C-alpha cells in the first residue's frame, strides 16, 4: 500500500520562485500544483482538497489576504503565507484572516520544508486526538469512556463484564432518576417478562463489589420496592 502523498497548492505570481518551490517539494515527495494569480488560486483551493496551501500576499486579480479570507469560511486547509513584506501589521493581518504560518522572502527552502513538516505533523496529531476523543460519562469519581468501554474510579481502571458495564452506564446516564428493575432488565438484557427481575439485584451486587469503596456508602442506592438510583446529593 503506497504512502499518502501530501498535496500542496502554490499560489505565487513570481514564476521562477513558484517553479523552484514546486521542484523542491516534488523532490521531497509532495504532489503540487501552481496558480499564478489570486482568483484562479482561490478557485483551485476551493474546488480541490489540499493538505497545505502556500499563499503569496502580493497577487494579481485578488490579493493573498482576500484569498485567505474567502477560503476560511468554506475550508480549514492549512495556509502558509509567503511574502516579501515583513512588517508586523502584515504578519498579524495574515494570521487574523486565518493563515496558520508565515514565512518571509527570501527564505531558505530548508526553512519552508521544516515549516511544512511541522504544520503537517500538528494537523495529524490534532486529527488523531479528534478520532480518539472519548465521550465521558461521570459521577463523582467514577468515569466511563464510552467509545473504548473503560470504567475508572479516579485513576484506577475497574474491570467489568459486558452486562455490569451496561448496567452501570444506564444508571450513570440517569443520575437522580429511579430506574425500576423492569426498566433495567429491558434496557440491559432486552428481556421483558421472560426472566425474573431478581437478576438485576444479582448484578447490582456484582457491580457494587467492584466499584464501591469499603467503608463508604455505595454509589448505587436501593429504592425499596422500586429499583435503583445513583444520586449526586448522597
Q: Of 131, 166, 195, which marks where a domain is finished? A: 131
Q: Rounded to two decimals, what is the model's pTM?
A: 0.57
56 and 97 in a single domain? The answer is yes
Domain boundaries, position 121: 7-131
14 and 110 in a single domain? The answer is yes
Distance of alpha carbon 36 from alpha carbon 164, whole angstroms: 63
Q: Of 93, 111, 131, which marks where a domain is finished? A: 131
Q: Is the pLDDT of residue 193 over 60?
A: no
pLDDT tens profile 155-166: 899 999 999 999
Which comes out higher in pLDDT, residue 233 or 87? 233
Which comes out higher in pLDDT, residue 203 or 123? 203
Predicted local distance difference test score (pLDDT) of residue 114:
95
The residues near 127 (Cβ < 8 Å, ≥ 6 apart) are none
117 and 160 in a single domain? The answer is no
The residues near 68 (Cβ < 8 Å, ≥ 6 apart) are 55, 79, 81, 94, 97, 98, 99
Q: Of 131, 156, 183, which marks where a domain is finished? A: 131
Average pLDDT over residues 8-15: 97
Average pLDDT over residues 184-209: 83
Total tally of structural domains belonging to the chain: 2
pLDDT tens profile 173-185: 999 999 999 899 8
Distances (CA, A) of 52 to 11, 73, 80, 152: 11, 16, 7, 40
Amino acid at each position: 500500500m503506497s504512502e499518502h502523498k501530501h498535496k500542496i497548492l502554490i499560489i505565487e505570481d513570481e514564476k521562477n520562485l513558484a517553479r523552484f518551490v514546486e521542484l523542491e517539494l516534488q523532490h521531497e515527495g509532495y504532489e503540487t500544483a501552481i496558480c499564478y494569480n489570486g482568483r484562479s488560486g482561490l478557485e483551485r483551493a476551493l474546488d480541490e482538497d489540499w493538505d497545505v496551501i502556500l499563499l503569496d500576499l502580493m497577487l494579481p486579480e485578488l490579493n493573498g489576504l482576500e484569498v485567505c479570507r474567502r477560503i476560511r469560511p468554506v475550508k480549514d486547509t492549512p495556509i502558509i503565507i509567503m511574502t516579501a513584506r515583513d512588517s508586523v501589521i502584515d504578519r498579524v493581518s495574515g494570521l487574523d484572516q486565518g493563515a496558520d504560518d508565515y514565512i518571509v522572502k527570501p527564505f531558505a527552502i530548508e526553512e519552508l520544508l521544516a515549516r511544512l513538516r511541522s504544520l503537517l505533523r500538528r494537523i495529524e496529531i490534532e486529527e488523531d486526538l479528534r478520532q480518539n476523543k472519548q465521550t465521558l460519562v461521570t459521577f463523582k469519581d467514577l468515569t466511563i469512556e464510552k467509545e473504548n468501554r473503560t470504567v475508572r474510579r479516579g485513576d484506577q481502571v475497574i474491570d467489568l463484564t459486558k452486562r455490569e458495564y451496561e448496567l452501570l452506564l444506564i444508571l450513570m446516564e440517569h443520575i437522580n432518576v429511579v430506574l425500576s428493575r423492569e426498566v433495567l432488565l429491558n434496557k440491559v438484557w432486552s428481556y421483558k417478562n421472560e426472566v425474573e427481575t431478581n437478576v438485576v439485584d444479582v448484578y447490582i451486587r456484582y457491580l457494587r463489589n467492584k466499584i464501591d469503596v469499603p467503608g463508604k456508602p455505595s454509589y448505587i442506592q436501593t429504592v425499596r420496592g422500586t429499583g435503583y438510583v445513583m444520586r449526586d446529593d448522597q
